[in-house]
Structure 1
Amino acid sequence: MVPTKEQLTKYANLTIKMGVNVQKGQALLINAPIEARQFVHHLVDEAYEAGAENVQVNWTDEVLTRKRYDYEPLSVLENVPDWAVERQMTHVENGGAVLNIHAPNPDLLEGIDAEVVAKANKARSAAMKDYKKYIINDKIQWSIVSVPTDKWAKKIFDTDNEQKAVEDLWKQIFQIVRVDQDDPIQAWKDHNETLFHIRDYLNDKQYDSLEYSSDFVDLTVKLPENHVWAGGGAVAETGTSFNPNMPTEEVFTAPDYRGVNGTVKNTKPLNYNGNLIDDFKLTFKDGEVVEFEAGQGGETLKHLLDSDEGAKYLGEIALVPHSSPISQSNLVFFNTLYDENASCHLALGSAYPTNVEGGEKLDDNQLKEKGINTSLIHEDFMVGSAELNVYGVTKDGEKEPIIKEGEWAIKGV
């Protein structure tokens, strides 16, 4: 299908009103690839219709990104100009909302030295550390959505028929984010209520730990005192609600980064900044990755784990039913926004401070005292399957099913 103007307008309206939920008089920054320009034009219209002011678009071009890695010395790739940081910081410091269009080419940096990519990413993450605090602490509204791009669509459907791949991906995206429904906004409100029910149930339980078991996972995860489960919509510091990820099928919290033990194997590939990592296994002891192996992208995985001290520890545990719409598509999207919502997943690196009571008011040292990991990175990887069981362990040692054979075992879901 070729998306119609009506469909694009419907998707843009959903993104602006239910995703980032820009307010009257609020500035909006849209970060987007140039291939998304048609959709971005609709987004800008909808943003102004909602009363936004000072709508800015920061364009990226993957062809130029690849050329930089092909020709520039590492010293240039590691140099993040002050103006680039200041642009983002000034926007969020003044209360602006941020919308990211995430549609990466999974093979963009294939063949580039993994160490070069890792050092460039580390420099960029370090430069943007203060900006990212506005995101991970929900100080502002922010959201991430995707639209098809040629290379991404061809990778998913493994075809040289570019036009058909893009059309097929549009169809999948419209179904998964509920744009194909008569009232997408109401559909999202209903969906959020389901996730809120699960979130509230788990917050009331305050399990001491979780136990994962399947052919891919044999893991025990300690949970911090006063941990907070989140999922569906979020609320910014101003009190404005928004949906950070569209799609989203998860409820998530932070583990006690010191209390993770066991082994995990991935169930879907990880696209890490233009390089694929697949068939990998991680072994945790007292929270730290002490052993790892990978069938593809081993060097990339090594450099990811070496990003900083916190990169070898977990910052997020997320629960997703195997019957989620993304999973039922039977596609591997090579895009974390989509693949993470097809499967229970874990994240290496930084936790969201909001996943512990009062965490948004704590500095890094105070967070670590509570067992909340800090890092320059946050990388989700998928471990869910139709065979996965997840049990909540109470402080009395009782085990209660949360996920059974890939599906929710919680009443009322």
Structure 2
Amino acid sequence: MTFEEKLAQFAELAVKVGTNIQQGQTLLINTTVDTIEFTRLVVKEAYKAGAARVTVNYSDDVVARQLFENASVEEFEKFPRWITEQRDELIERGGALLWIDAADPDLMAGIPVEKISANQKASGKALENYRDAVMNDKIAWSIIAIPSKKWAAKVFPELPEEEQVPAMWEAIFKTVRIGEGSAVENWQAHLKNLHVRGDLMNEKHFAKLHYTAPGTDLIVGLPDKHIWATGSSKTPQGTEFVANMPTEEVFTLPSKYDVNGYVSSTKPLVYQGNIIDNFKLTFENGVIVKAEAQQGEELLNELIKADEGSKYIGEIALVPHESPISASGLLYYNTLFDENASNHIAIGAAYPTCYEGGSELSEEEMDKAGINVSITHEDFMVGSAEMDIDGIHADGTVEAVFRKGAWAF
């Protein structure tokens, strides 16, 4: 398969599986100027699939960096109204949203934490309606990524400059199952396998999970009505979409006030263009009471203080260590990829769809049910080949779920 053929399959995959564009639907694409050629392929595929209108918002990392270097903290406390209105209109029209990421992992290195925090809080508040739509699967949305020069250099520093981007392309193609046969058919089979694993976890219906590994001893309670979900979701209209491409996870929500112990990261977290690495979180009754990091500790603590819900976690996800991304041996410095190489946990908001009837609950009812609400949702990686996970049933009996980073059943 030629490079051009792989690119064409990737564009088709983003449209037919990621967002699953329907006849007459609108599509909004958010991306950077580094992706223009590929984005044009996606736009062409979207119209072939029947899209009524495709709109592309291009950003520029250089311009974004200049804004953070020069604007005041007060400026970041304001959020552009047009962005909110554009997302709200997309939701009203039943449109779909696609992110094509090519960001530099070090984009905001050295930017004052106060500016990053102010921007996070302002955007979180302004985009509350959009966040609700995404967390409750009210619209189809998907995130994919393609190489930029700076990102490829970060992942492949040992290669000559001219080989870094091609190597990055090939690595990404492998993670999204492009290279042999039809990528769309490959994904249909992959999603079927994930559903089988999710069904098994739902049948087990554990009351708690106990994680143990070097630097980790954590017990996570699960709500009685929790649901294990997988890579694909459905809108209220029944349209199936895949939010993250790649995806290897089976995930659910924890009981907000029933998380105790400590957990250590096993891969860096890239947050707002900065790297937080080698960190450890300690929990008491769900609350993060201590956060330590060898790199980015100040930013980590700002993340945890973003709002009341940022002190809790909202997602736990199971990914075997022998997953294709982990087997590649690469560190992507991008959560979309790194989270699919490892068991991971998310600081902040839970997906109400992982709770029976959760999408119909008010915030007060969600809190009572143990469903966390927050303006944040940041995944961090905790899995390794040394991690064991035990499932604890309501009667106290224990069953192995993971052994040495692999499924035990």
TM-score, length of structure 1 as denominator length:
0.97
Match of 2:251 in 1: 252
Task: Check whether the contact 1:147–1:173 (CA below 8 A) recurs between aligned residues.
Answer: yes
Matched, 1:365 2:340: no
CA distance in 1, matches of 2:280, 2:405: 20
CA distance in 2, matches of 1:405, 1:4: 37
Match of 2:124 in 1: 125
Match of 1:139 in 2: 138
Summarize the alignment of residues 267-346 of structure 1 with structure 2, pairs less than 5 Å apart: 267-346=266-345
Summarize the alignment of residues 183-194 of structure 1 with structure 2, pairs less than 5 Å apart: 183-194=182-193
Match of 2:175 in 1: 176
CA displacement at 1:102 relative to structure 2: 2.1
Match of 2:157 in 1: 158
Is the alpha carbon distance of 1:63 and 1:291 closer, same or farther for their aligned partners in structure 2, counting shifts above 3 Å?
same
CA displacement at 1:159 relative to structure 2: 4.7
Residue 233 of structure 1 aligns with an amino acid whose one-letter code is: S
Match of 2:200 in 1: 201
Task: Check whether the contact 2:143–2:245 (CA below 8 A) recurs between aligned residues.
Answer: yes
Summarize the alignment of residues 390-409 of structure 1 with structure 2, pairs less than 5 Å apart: 390-409=389-408
SS in 2 for 1:292: strand
Deviation track 1:89-114 (CA, whole Å, cap 9, x = no partner) reads 10111100111112221111111111
Residue 48 of structure 2 aligns with an amino acid whose one-letter code is: E
SS in 1 for 2:270: strand
Stretch of structure 1 that moved more, 340-349 or 181-190: 181-190
Task: Check whether the contact 2:134–2:141 (CA below 8 A) recurs between aligned residues.
Answer: yes
CA distance in 1, matches of 2:383, 2:3: 35
Aligned residues: 409
Match of 1:109 in 2: 108
Which ranges of 4 or more aligned residues in structure 1 deviate by more than 3 Å?
A: 159-162
Matched, 1:230 2:229: yes
Residue 405 of structure 2 aligns with an amino acid whose one-letter code is: G
CA distance in 1, matches of 2:377, 2:160: 34
CA distance in 2, matches of 1:104, 1:225: 39
Residue 345 of structure 2 aligns with an amino acid whose one-letter code is: L
CA displacement at 1:141 relative to structure 2: 0.9
The answer for unaligned runs of 5 or more in structure 1 is: none
CA distance in 2, matches of 1:52, 1:163: 37
SS in 1 for 2:138: coil
Is the alpha carbon distance of 1:146 and 1:398 closer, same or farther for their aligned partners in structure 2, counting shifts above 3 Å?
same
| Identity across the alignment (%) | 45
Residue 244 of structure 2 aligns with an amino acid whose one-letter code is: N
Summarize the alignment of residues 353-392 of structure 1 with structure 2, pairs less than 5 Å apart: 353-392=352-391
CA displacement at 1:162 relative to structure 2: 3.3
CA distance in 1, matches of 2:178, 2:91: 29
CA displacement at 1:344 relative to structure 2: 0.1
SS in 2 for 1:230: coil
Residue 104 of structure 2 aligns with an amino acid whose one-letter code is: N
Residue 173 of structure 2 aligns with an amino acid whose one-letter code is: F
CA distance in 1, matches of 2:81, 2:231: 35
Task: Check whether the contact 1:278–1:295 (CA below 8 A) recurs between aligned residues.
Answer: yes
Task: Give the RMSD, CA atoms, in angstroms.
Answer: 1.2
SS in 2 for 1:83: helix
